[in-house]
Amino acid sequence: MGMTITEKIIAAHAQKEKVIPGELVQVKIDLALANDITAPLSIKELEKQKIDRIFDPDKVVLVADHNTPCKDIASAQNVKLMRDFARKYGISHFFEGGKAGIEHVLLPEEGLIAPGDLVIGADSHTCTYGALGAFSTGMGSTDIAASWVLGETWLRVPESILFLYEGKRKPFVTGKDLILFTIGKIGVDGARYCAMEFRGSVISELSLDERFTMANMAVEAGAKNGIMEADSKVLNYVSGRTSHLSRVYQSDPDAQWREIIEIDVSSLEPQVAFPHLPSNTHSVYSIPKIEIDQVVIGSCTNGRMEDLRMAAQVLKGREVNPRVRLLIFPGTPSVLKQAEKEGLLRIFLEAGGIIAPPSCGPCLGGHLGVLAEGEKCVSTTNRNFLGRMGHVKSEVYLANPYVAASSAVAGYIAAPDQI
């Protein structure tokens, strides 16, 4: 019996010939990351236990991106704690201020991820790096603290589900729509504990940015990781960025799948996930008129160049509806610079949008765009849970950047060909 990409990466890091789903293994890690919400717990745990050993400071990554630019004294203290910790142990991959961006946009950009890597992070969207053919998964602060000391962690080898996407995409159907549709189809626990492997001609055609969006939301179906084959687009992307070796794997023809799910995208329309679960998906063309108060474009899901280009394509020469606040969060300083270079910032500003600093801010209702009672928001982020972006009686509708931008113009949820 053959192995899947996920099993091959885990086996290589467990120094085993073969692993099988369900097996518990100890694996060496290539990188362990934490952010300004999760790192403080990890650091305090190490201090409490009086452990002052880090296995390899170069394999620890700390990103101040959630409550930054620091929204209050407590969040500033948390970033200070990270900074002091980074200095004490000589952790070079500590990102704050003008070097910081949203972690899952930043790490690939910085060349910290290569195909075949095994990466863990104290953030559930660590699964994003599967787009580069790496195994990556989210854990909690204590697991990450332990990995910083030992250089390894334990994993239960997940079963894999193969998702095959074929057909020709309609206009305005993006990677975001493929993953929202998939979550809608299998449910928020449809891939619980599993690896989701995305494959098919549609995946090959997707830009890398759209692939990141898909892998990013694997956790919203309960998955341990999302993964794709590292093809020439991936190898081009990582070459020149990363100094470490790419290990390219493919699933064997006789690999064992829990399920194979084939999705014909030809009839798929842009998706909108209604409150309060990412699986409450509808075609944008089938929904009633829903007036909105805010639009957020950005996040680890849709804060990359392709996403901003999609938004700009819609917003060029148009104005945001007076009832709507449009907030745009470029994922990293590099994305922001590139958007400036391409003239996208001017388009956003002339449309009446607000350009915010690279931050996770509004996605989790942290700061920089929190919702009041009864407000509705169309967001390119990943979660629409109860109270996620603010007041418990606010509502979040998840969509792609085209739909988000056109909704900002219309004042209600709409696709570009409806405005």
Whether the CB-CB separation of 95 and 62 falls below 8 Å is answered with: yes
Complex with other proteins: residue 59 or 353, whichever CB lies closer: 59
Query: With binding defined as CB under 8 A, does residue 164 bind other proteins?
Result: no
What is the x/- site pattern for other proteins, positions 3-42, by CB under 8 A? ---------------------x------------xx-xx-
Query: Mask of contacts with other proteins, 314-353, x by CB under 8 A?
Result: ----------------------------------------
DSSP for 4-50?
Answer: -HHHHHHHHHTT-S---TT-EEEEE-SEEEEETTTHHHHHHHHHHTT
Helix (H) or strand (E) holding 287: none
Helix (H, G, I), strand (E, B) or coil at 261: strand
Strand partners, 62: 34, 94
- Cβ nearer to other proteins, comparing 172 with 397: 397
User: Which two three-digit tokens encode residue 35?
Assistant: 């952010």
Does residue 166 touch other proteins according to CB under 8 A?
A: no
Site string for other proteins, 205-234 (x = CB under 8 A): -----------------x-x----------
Cα torsion 337, 79, 302, 245: sign = positive
51 touches other proteins by CB under 8 A? yes
Closest CB to other proteins among residues 211, 383? 383
Q: Does 354 bind other proteins (CB under 8 A)?
A: no
Cis preceding linkage at 278, omega within 30: no
Piece in contact with other proteins (CB under 8 A), picked from 136-144, 178-186, 296-304, 400-408: 136-144
Strands (E), 239-391: 259-264, 271-273, 281-283, 294-298, 325-329, 354-355, 376-379
DSSP 299: H
Our CB check for other proteins shows the closer of 4 and 38 to be 38
| Region binding other proteins by CB under 8 A among candidate stretches 7-15, 122-130, 249-257, 340-348 | 122-130
Near other proteins by CB under 8 A, which window of 105-113, 147-155, 165-173, 297-305? 147-155
CA distance 392 to 32: 33
SS3 292: coil
User: Can residue 124 be called a binding residue for other proteins (CB under 8 A)?
Assistant: yes
Tell whether residue 53 is a contact of other proteins (CB under 8 A). Answer: yes
Q: Are 127 and 223 in contact (CB under 8 A)?
A: yes
Segment 390 to 409, residues that bind other proteins, using CB under 8 A: 392
* 59: contact with other proteins by CB under 8 A: no
Choose, by CB under 8 A, the member of 84, 340, 386, 417 that binds other proteins: 386
Burial of 236 (C-beta count, 10 Å sphere; 0-12/13-18/19+) = exposed
Residue 66 or 211 having the CB closest to other proteins? 66
Q: Are residues 171 and 135 in contact, defined by beta-carbon separation less than 8 angstroms? A: no
Burial of 318 (0-12, 13-18, 19+ CB in 10 A): middle
Nearest distance from C-beta of residue 43 to other proteins, angstroms: 9
Is 75 among the residues that bind other proteins (CB under 8 A)?
yes
Residues of this chain that bind other proteins (CB under 8 A) = 24, 37-38, 40-41, 44-45, 48-49, 51, 53, 66-67, 71-72, 74-75, 78, 121-124, 126, 138-143, 145-146, 149-150, 154, 156, 188-189, 192-193, 222, 224, 277, 364-366, 370, 383, 385-388, 392
